[in-house]
Structure formats: C-alpha cells, structure tokens
Amino acid sequence: MVQILAGEKGEGKTKKLLEMANNAAKTGNGCVVYIDDDSRHIYDLDHSVRFVEVAEFPLANYRELIGFIYGILSQNSDIEKIFIDGIFKIVEKLDSEDIIKLVAKLKAIGDKYGIDFIAAANTLPTDLPKEIANVLI
C-alpha cells in the first residue's frame, strides 16, 4: 500500500505522519522506519521506530530513493511500514512523471515484501498527477 499526505506547509502533515508512525510502532507486528531530511523530529517518535536522516545522503532522483529504500530493506526483513516525511525535500528532482513512477515502484516493493509506504508532500493535492489520486489521503 502507498499513501501520500499532500498539503501546503503548516497544515500538520508531519504531525499526522509522526502520530501514524508512533501508532504503527505500538500496534504493529513488524518494524517501523521513519525517513526524514533532518533530525528535528527524532525525539517525537517512539523509541522503537528506526529513524533515518537522509541529509548526508543526497538523493538526486526517485531511482536513488528506491535504491536507498532497498538498502534499508536489505538490513531488516521485518519492516512493516516506512514513513517518508517531506518527499520533495528528500528527492532533489521529482516531476509529475517521476512521482507516478515512484508510486508504482513503491507499490511493487510493498506488494512483494508486505510493506506499507506513507509519505508527506508539501504540495496541494490538485498539483499532483491525477494518476496517483487514489493514493492521496
């Protein structure tokens, strides 16, 4: 499953994402990973959530993000959910076509390994491609 929280800056997307990650850590059976572009929210997460800061690993495009995620998965086969905060900050270049490809690839990974992906994006839902409207929450 892939879900995207879209909205303008300051609408509470990160707060909701943090709550979702903490709830998943408390109620789930597998591991939870939270990917962010900085460490501001590390102490807002339950101690069992694996926090990954990508600031030292600049990701130029969606393919590099997918490779990064595969690297995380290679180290832990018990991951149940991966939260990605600020997808447009984490990936330097992400146009409409790339977003469609990213969602498709995340869905394929999720289906194969039983992982849910939830991402937050600083953009209006209407600014995202209509092809991914079914993943917006």
Stretch 28-52: mean pLDDT: 95
Instruction: Give the residue, 17 or 56, on which the prediction is more confident.
Output: 17
What pTM, to 2 d.p., does this model score? Answer: 0.95
Question: Tell me, what's the pLDDT at 15?
Answer: 96
Q: How far apart are CA 81 and CA 114, in angstroms?
A: 9
The secondary structure element, H or E, covering residue 84 is: strand 79-84
Length of the chain equals 137
Q: Which residues contact 61 (CB under 8 A, 6 or more apart)?
A: 91, 92, 93, 94, 98
Confidence at 14, pLDDT banded by 50, 70, 90: very high
- What's 59's DSSP letter? B
